[in-house]
Amino acid sequence: MTTRFPLLLPFLCLFSAGVTYAQTRLVEKVTRQGNELVIPYEKYVLPNSLTLIVHEDHSDPIVHVDVTYHVGSAREEIGKSGFAHFFEHMMFQGSDHVADDEHFKIVTESGGTLNGSTNRDRTNYYETLPSNQLERALWLEADRMGFLLDAVTQKKFEIQRATVKNERGQNYDNRPYGLAGEYVAKNLYAYGHPYSWLTIGYIEDLNRVNVNDLKNFFLRWYGPNNAVLTIGGDVTAKQVVALTEKYFGSIPRGPEVTKTQVPTPVVDKDRYVSYEDNVRFPMLQLVFPTVPNYHPDEAPLDALAEILGGGKNSLFYKNLVKTQLAVQANASHPATELAGQLAMVVLPFPGKSLDSTEAVVRRTLAEFERRGATDDDIAQFRATREADLINGLSSVSGKVSQLAAFQTYLGNPNYLPQELKRYKSVTKADVMRVYNQYIKGKNAVILTVYPKGKPEIVAKPDNYTVSTANYKAPDYGYNGLAYTKPKDSFDRAVKPGPGPNPALKVPPFWNDKLPNGIKVIGARNDEIPAITMLFTIKGGHLLEANDPSKAGVAQLTASLMNEATQNYTNEQLNTKLEKLGSSIDIRANTEEITISVEALIKNLDSTLALVEEKLLRPKFAQDDFDRLKKQQLELISNQSTQPVVIANKAYSKLLYGSANIRSVPLSGTTKTVETITLDDVKAFYKNYLSPSVTNMVVVGDIEQAAIMPKLAFLSKWAAKPVKIPTTPAPKKIDKTRLYLIDKEQAAQSEIRIGYLTNMPYDATGDYYKAALANYMLGGAFSSRINMNLREDKGYTYGARSGFSSTNTPGPFTAQAGVKAAATDSSVIEFVKEITNYAKSGITEQELAFVKSSLGQSDALRYETSLQKAFFLSRIIEYNLPRNYVEQQSEILRKITKAEIDAVAKKQLPINNMIITVVGNKQLIKPGLEKLGYELVELDKEGNVLGSSTTPADVPAGGAPAKMSSGKKN
We report the CATH number of the domain holding residue 53 as 3.30.830.10
Which has the closest alpha carbon to 281: 232, 345, 338? 345
HSE-CB of 350 using CA atoms within 13 angstroms: 14
Q: Looking at 457, 475, 491, which one is the last position of a domain?
A: 457
Q: Which contacts qualify for 573-579: CB closer than 8 Å, 24 or more apart?
A: 573/610, 573/613, 573/614, 574/311, 574/312, 574/313, 575/313, 575/376, 575/380, 576/606, 576/610, 577/607, 577/610, 578/311, 578/313, 578/380, 578/381, 578/383, 578/384, 579/376, 579/379, 579/380, 579/383
The DSSP symbol for 43 reads: E
Of 312-326, 334-348, 722-736, the one with minimum mean pLDDT is 722-736
Q: Looking at 653, 682, 716, which one is the last position of a domain?
A: 716
Residues whose CB falls within 8 Å of the CB of residue 146, separated by 6 or more in sequence, listed in order: 248, 250, 251, 485, 486
Query: Looking at the structure, do residues 749 and 707 belong to the same domain, yes or no?
Result: no
Which has the closest alpha carbon to 235: 406, 8, 371, 59? 59
Q: Looking at 457, 478, 498, which one is the last position of a domain?
A: 457
Residue 708 in domain: yes
State the average pLDDT for the chain: 93
Share of the chain above pLDDT 70, in %: 95
Query: Looking at the structure, do residues 741 and 711 belong to the same domain, yes or no?
Result: no
Query: Looking at the structure, do residues 244 and 279 belong to the same domain, yes or no?
Result: no
The DSSP symbol for 504 reads: -
Residue 963 has pLDDT above 60, yes or no: no
Query: Looking at the structure, do residues 118 and 81 belong to the same domain, yes or no?
Result: yes
Of 81-85, 444-448, 914-918, the one with minimum mean pLDDT is 81-85
Query: Looking at the structure, do residues 431 and 530 belong to the same domain, yes or no?
Result: no
Residue 709 in domain: yes
Q: Where are the beta strands (DSSP E) in 266-419?
A: 271-277, 283-289, 326-332, 341-348
Residue 576 has pLDDT above 80, yes or no: yes
- Rounded CA-CA distance 680/576 in Å is 30
Share of the chain above pLDDT 90, in %: 85
Q: What is the mean pLDDT of residues 304-331?
A: 96
pLDDT of residue 947: 40
Query: Looking at the structure, do residues 180 and 125 belong to the same domain, yes or no?
Result: yes
Which has the closest alpha carbon to 80: 166, 194, 173, 208? 208
> Is-contact 194 201, C-beta < 8 A?
no
Residue 156 in domain: yes
pLDDT of residue 2: 61
- Rounded CA-CA distance 827/356 in Å is 47
pLDDT tens profile 380-391: 999 999 999 999
> Is-contact 577 384, C-beta < 8 A?
no
Residue 141 in domain: yes
- Rounded CA-CA distance 104/110 in Å is 10
pLDDT of residue 887: 95
Residue 305 in domain: yes
- The count of domains in the chain is 4
Confidence of residue 352 (pLDDT cuts 50, 70, 90): confident
Q: What is the mean pLDDT of residues 286-292?
A: 98
Task: List residues bridging with 916 in a β-sheet.
Answer: 739, 752
Q: What is the mean pLDDT of residues 322-338?
A: 96
pLDDT of residue 24: 93
pLDDT tens profile 361-411: 999 999 999 999 999 999 999 999 999 999 999 999 999 999 999 999 999
pLDDT tens profile 214-260: 899 999 999 999 999 999 999 999 999 999 999 999 999 999 999 99
Residue 35 has pLDDT above 90, yes or no: no
Residue 939 in domain: yes
| Phi and psi torsions of 227, nearest 5° | -135, 155
Query: Looking at the structure, do residues 70 and 208 belong to the same domain, yes or no?
Result: yes
Query: Looking at the structure, do residues 815 and 923 belong to the same domain, yes or no?
Result: yes
Residue 723 in domain: no
Q: What is the mean pLDDT of residues 47-56?
A: 98
pLDDT of residue 13: 38
Q: What is the mean pLDDT of residues 820-830?
A: 97
Q: List the domain range (segments joined by +) for residue 533.
A: 510-716
Q: Which amino acid is at 361?
A: V
pLDDT tens profile 468-479: 988 888 889 999
pLDDT of residue 962: 37
Q: Is 289 helix (H, G, I), strand (E, B) or coil?
A: strand
pLDDT of residue 545: 97
Q: What is the mean pLDDT of residues 638-649?
A: 92
pLDDT of residue 3: 62
Residue 10 in domain: no
What number of H helices and E strands is found in the chain? Answer: 31, 27
Residue 968 has pLDDT above 80, yes or no: no
Q: What is the mean pLDDT of residues 834-852?
A: 97
pLDDT of residue 1: 63
Q: Which amino acid is at 739?
A: Y
pLDDT of residue 951: 45
Query: Looking at the structure, do residues 191 and 276 belong to the same domain, yes or no?
Result: no
- E strand or H helix that includes residue 113: strand 113-118
Q: What is the mean pLDDT of residues 585-595?
A: 98
The DSSP symbol for 321 reads: I
Query: Looking at the structure, do residues 571 and 676 belong to the same domain, yes or no?
Result: yes
Confidence of residue 727 (pLDDT cuts 50, 70, 90): confident
Query: Looking at the structure, do residues 808 and 695 belong to the same domain, yes or no?
Result: no
Residue 8 has pLDDT above 70, yes or no: no
- Rounded CA-CA distance 394/232 in Å is 13
Query: Looking at the structure, do residues 758 and 861 belong to the same domain, yes or no?
Result: yes
